[in-house]
Amino acid sequence: MAIRRNKSINDKSVDVFGAALTRRQLVQAGGALFVGFGVLKQSTGAATSKNSLDATLPGSWIEIHPDNTILIRTGKSDFGQSTTFTAYRQIVAEELSAPFEAITTVVMGDTDRTPDGSGAFDFLGRGTPNIRKAAAFTYQALLDLASQRLGVPKSKLSVKNGVVSSGASGGGKSVSYGDLVKGQQLKLTIPVSGDLTSVMGLTVTGNPPLKPVSEYTIIGKSYRNSVTTSKVTAREQWATDVRLPGMLHARMVHPKSLGSTLVAAGKLDKTRFPNAQVVVKRNLVGVVAPTEWEAIRAAQQVAGDTKWTEWKGLPGNANLFNYLRKSADWKTTRVTKSDKSRGDIAPTLAGAAKKLSATYEFPFMKHAPIGPTLAVADARPDGTVYVYTHNQNPQALRGEIAQMLGASTDQIVVRTFAGAGHYGRSNGGNAGAEDEAVILSKAVGKPVRVQWMRPEDFQWSTQSPASYSEVEIGLDAKGRMIAYQIDHYMPAMQDDRPVGAVLAGLPTMPAPSEKGVFVGSTVNDISDPWIYDGVATLMERGHGTYQVGQKASPLAIGMRDHSMRTPGQFQQNFPRELAISEAAALAGIDAIQFRIDHAREDRAIGVLKAVRDASGWETRPSPRAKTAAAGDTPVRGRGVSLMFRSGTYWACVCEIAVTPGTGAIKVEKATIAVEPGIVVNPMQLKRQVEGGTVMGISHALLEEATFDESGITASDWRTYPILKMADIPEIKVVLLHRPEVGSYGGGSEAANAIAAPAIAAALFDATGKIARRLPLKPAYVQTLLKA
Amino acid sequence: MATIIVNGVRREVQAPNDTPLLYVLRNDLELSGPQFGCGLAQCGACSVLLDGKEIRSCITPLSGAVGKEVTTLEGLPARWAQQKGLSKTDAEKTLHPVQEAWIEEQTPLCGFCQNGMMIKATELLERVAAPTVAEIKEAFTTSGPSAHLCRCGSYTAIIEAVQRAATVMGKGR
């Protein structure tokens, strides 16, 4: 009966706000509504792939099942943000007016099973992530189906808990979503644009009506992350657990330096390692064996016997900023200017009553996942390649592997599993082991698991780039900022070339250059949105160059960089926010009040006031100390920072104690106010903010990727220490829920940037001395305080 | 070849005696709790209990586990059930209070280090019924071969979860 009543939908495609609803075939049992997309106009290569694009295949965003359960799929890989398992379920349930619990399955990050691509960043899409629009289209299609079924105009229908009702005026009829799809094979084709295997993936276009925020009942609640339970009970399948029949274990023998080429690969001692095998492809050397322990020991033996050329083409970290200032090429790459830059800066600065002129330095930092990169690759005789890994952008990896092999993307499948957080390192598609596993698997004709060891993960991975910034601020006689100028200098931030492919001499995308586009470019964009619109004259410029050592290295490698959580923005926000605190002191005005005085946006002022109240901030100018700090008695100070990122305002107050005699800083309390507009899941957001803050304190106090003339010298947790539990402060998180903003800003990647400028300002408050370089290690602080 | 007792079960293992216990647990016994983090006893991701004491399985040779009781994350529920004398039926549906607390507090972010964190928490709570925050920090920072490291920064959530677990474990004592 149900099928007959849907006749008009059976026969033709129904337009749903630009999406097309069709019925594909009658089915005797089961049935479902699949939400996918049609063939793309822009990118035929990816779009005509047999994988993940036909919504009748299990690759659609949303499936409504006859038993009223709902499955969602996303190309985004959750790396600890919890978003795909909490916020995404909440968003879909909300748009569909279905119970949160109805979404029983979340499929993520498999290139043959999930519809869109892109990286593990910007999950909430500044309010309209793909999954929200897909859900909004689906809701409209379900209303169309219900209207047909119940014979009631769409406008009279309402939905609660996944049941559509016509209300009293419509005859009091109702039907569940499950019943609407029962016995049918319905397909909703929604419009998309973009390139599936590019860094940004596909974007859902069109403008389906979105549920009014005032009607939200699911968003805003603290649902649990379903994956937490499986991880805590050892039931999760991690990438580290992937075992294929016949799989070999591999360890790599990476070059002696970031510019060394292979002279002769070491000979394997077959008497000790009878089952091992050495694979050499140009400068790529790997050792495979049936057991992991044999692979490790055999690789160590081979490494000791392998000859590489010498290379000393890096400046070394001690000479880094001297090198960047005097030797780096800042002329070839186009200089950028922020959209807000305005006014005649030079005369305004010249006419200022008081001036601040300072340079800030920001070191290379490692993403430093707690587990080193690994991947299992299965290069099959028919030319297809399966990669099982833990990757923030599986579709981009798929494209990179296809390019490396000269294969079609149709031949490459990437499956994603849980693993250690990468903090942006694999957002461009690779973290290190993936392409190497593919190369070795092809060479030996068996599935191969490549696991990097801890030193390799520090020394052969990418890092967050170093930078320096020159700031000039002009104040008038009353202490108001009348001019602000900043010049940011940073090498290319994102090198997505798979390093194994580079070593093996196989095809990759070009190294970052002035000719590159988007993330492949050396252009340094302004990434830290200006908040102090009360300043009339502003100049923000970004200067870019090649990666350090990239041109000099015979391997074209050098210090490869990659975005980290707040890419570019951390490098730009640290100098800006510390300089603003310095300017406030120069003006003799409290640092929070000074910010409020120059901000114009209500939301920015809101987080500043919230952090002031929550931290118990005493309104007064900095520094507190009138005399030089010395000795072994700790002195205390506080500092503040402000940032806007991905639709969210952040303000942070750090209170520190510093011991002048040793230079040791202890952050005693951190208070963070966060206003993302709509708070989707308070519990999960709070945990993200706490975690990001701890990482940010770690960055500020401890982290610098040291390197010499040949390569990175940080090799383990002793040479690259991170914050330990005993060193954490009391952390107070204030979540500001402002539904009237109407969108949900991001909350999982930004918190790492906010601590550093607040801590440096607190050091100034405590001692009157300004540390303009990170990290604030004891030796540096001690020297600074003695000066 | 060696015989070891893992989570209460005797297991025959073919691996050479110098193989780090971690690889035996993961590859030979297909357990997924302990993780490879550093191989240097510097992070704690690979922790297991050896006769109730937290050790780093990445540097402990297989031979070092012979004749001793190894407990991994997988074995925590049974360990608790045995300590409480739970019936078989009750034991099957019971998690270790540390695991329950980790869920209640939504402690993990990426979760890769949490195996070691929960192993350390179990060791601590078996020794100290109601640890102070200072004692918890000491346990996770200086008591073992190295601090237990969490790159995602979940330390606050871990402290809260340990305190919650202590409350549950303390009941009926």
Mean pLDDT of successive 10-residue stretches along chain A, which has 787 residues: 31 71 61 60 32 39 91 89 93 97 92 84 83 93 93 95 93 94 84 85 90 96 96 96 97 98 98 98 98 98 98 98 98 98 97 98 98 98 96 95 96 96 95 97 98 98 98 98 98 97 98 92 97 98 98 95 96 98 98 98 98 98 82 95 96 97 97 97 97 98 98 98 98 97 88 96 97 98 94
- The predicted structure's pLDDT at residue A25: 52
Q: Are residues B38 and B63 in the same domain?
A: yes
- The predicted structure's pLDDT at residue A44: 32
> For the purposes of burial, counting CB atoms within 10 Å of the CB of A641, is it exposed (0-12), middle (13-18) or buried (19 or more)?
buried
**d(C-alpha A710, C-alpha A732), whole Å:** 43
A715 to chain B, minimum CA–CA distance in Å? 10
DSSP-derived secondary structure for A228-261: HHHHHTT-S-BGGG---TTPEEEEE---SSTT--
Q: Are residues B37 and B22 in the same domain?
A: yes
B67 to chain A, minimum CA–CA distance in Å? 22
> Are the beta carbons of A186 and A121 closer than 8 angstroms?
no
Query: Is A370 part of the contact surface with chain B (CB cutoff 8 Å)?
Result: yes
Beta strands per DSSP E along A51-182: 62-64, 70-74, 103-108, 158-160, 163-165, 174-176
Last residue of a domain, one of B32, B47, B73: B73
Q: How many CB atoms lie within 10 A of CB A386?
A: 20
Distances (CA, A) of A96 to A133, A136, A138, A525, A738: 11, 7, 7, 38, 22
Q: Is the preceding omega at residue B61 within 30 degrees of 0, hence cis?
A: no
Which one is the CATH code of A4-216: 3.30.365.10, 3.30.420.10, 3.40.50.300, 3.40.630.40? 3.30.365.10
User: Residue A783 phi/psi, 5° resolution?
Assistant: -60, -45
Q: Are residues B32 and B61 in the same domain?
A: yes
Q: Are residues B42 and B113 in the same domain?
A: no
> Are the beta carbons of A366 and A463 closer than 8 angstroms?
yes
A433 to chain B, minimum CA–CA distance in Å? 15
A658 to chain B, minimum CA–CA distance in Å? 20
- The predicted structure's pLDDT at residue A24: 56
One fold for A239-311+373-451 and A599-786: yes
**d(C-alpha A277, C-alpha A280), whole Å:** 10
Give the dihedral sign, CA A235/A238/A244/A247.
negative
Last residue of a domain, one of B55, B73, B91: B73
All residues of chain A having their beta carbon less than 8 Å from the beta carbon of residue B99 are 232-233
Domain extent, residue B40, equals 2-73
Q: Are residues B117 and B59 in the same domain?
A: no
- The predicted structure's pLDDT at residue A3: 26
CATH number, domain with residue B46? 3.10.20.30
- The predicted structure's pLDDT at residue A91: 96
All residues of chain A having their beta carbon less than 8 Å from the beta carbon of residue B14 are none
Report the interhelical angle of A87-96 vs A130-150 (nearest 10°): 30
Last residue of a domain, one of B73, B90, B121: B73
- The predicted structure's pLDDT at residue A59: 52
Beta bridge partners of A675: A649
Top residue of A233, A242, A273, A749 to mutate, by most chain B CBs within 10 Å, is A233
Comparing A451-455, A516-520, B102-106, B158-162, which segment has the lowest mean pLDDT? A516-520
Q: Are residues B103 and B125 in the same domain?
A: yes
Gyration radius (Cα) of chain A, Å? 28
**d(C-alpha B53, C-alpha A608), whole Å:** 47
Q: Are residues B63 and B118 in the same domain?
A: no
Query: Is A451 part of the contact surface with chain B (CB cutoff 8 Å)?
Result: yes
Window 687-706 of A, Cβ < 8 Å to B: 687-688, 690-695, 698
* Unique residue bearing structure tokens 């657990």: A241
Record: contact B155-A725, CB cut-off 8 A? yes
Report the interhelical angle of B133-141 vs B155-170 (nearest 10°): 120
All residues of chain B having their beta carbon less than 8 Å from the beta carbon of residue A228 are 102-103, 106-108, 111
Q: Are residues B81 and B163 in the same domain?
A: yes
Record: contact A421-B151, CB cut-off 8 A? yes
> For the purposes of burial, counting CB atoms within 10 Å of the CB of A632, is it exposed (0-12), middle (13-18) or buried (19 or more)?
exposed
Query: Is B37 part of the contact surface with chain A (CB cutoff 8 Å)?
Result: yes
Record: contact B153-A695, CB cut-off 8 A? yes
What's the CATH code, domain A599-786? 3.30.365.10
Domain count, chain B: 2
B136 to chain A, minimum CA–CA distance in Å? 9
Query: Is B80 part of the contact surface with chain A (CB cutoff 8 Å)?
Result: no
* Unique residue bearing structure tokens 């979404």: A103
CATH number, domain with residue B113? 1.10.150.120
Q: How many CB atoms lie within 10 A of CB A319?
A: 14
Helix (H) or strand (E) segment spanning residue A449: strand A448-451
Q: Are residues B96 and B152 in the same domain?
A: yes
Span B9-27, mean pLDDT? 97
Q: Are residues B162 and B127 in the same domain?
A: yes
Q: Are residues B105 and B81 in the same domain?
A: yes
- Residue A683, by phi and psi: left (phi above 0), alpha (psi -120 to 50) or beta? alpha
All residues of chain A having their beta carbon less than 8 Å from the beta carbon of residue B43 are 370, 717
Domain extent listing, chain A: 4-216, 239-311+373-451, 599-786
Record: contact B152-A225, CB cut-off 8 A? no
pLDDT range class, residue B172, cuts 50, 70, 90: low
- The predicted structure's pLDDT at residue A43: 32
DSSP-derived secondary structure for A564-631: -SSTTHHHHHHHHHHHHHHHHHHHT--HHHHHHHH---HHHHHHHHHHHHHHT----PSP--SS---S
- The predicted structure's pLDDT at residue A41: 32
- Is the domain spanning A239-311+373-451 CATH 3.40.50.1100? The answer is no
- The predicted structure's pLDDT at residue A29: 56
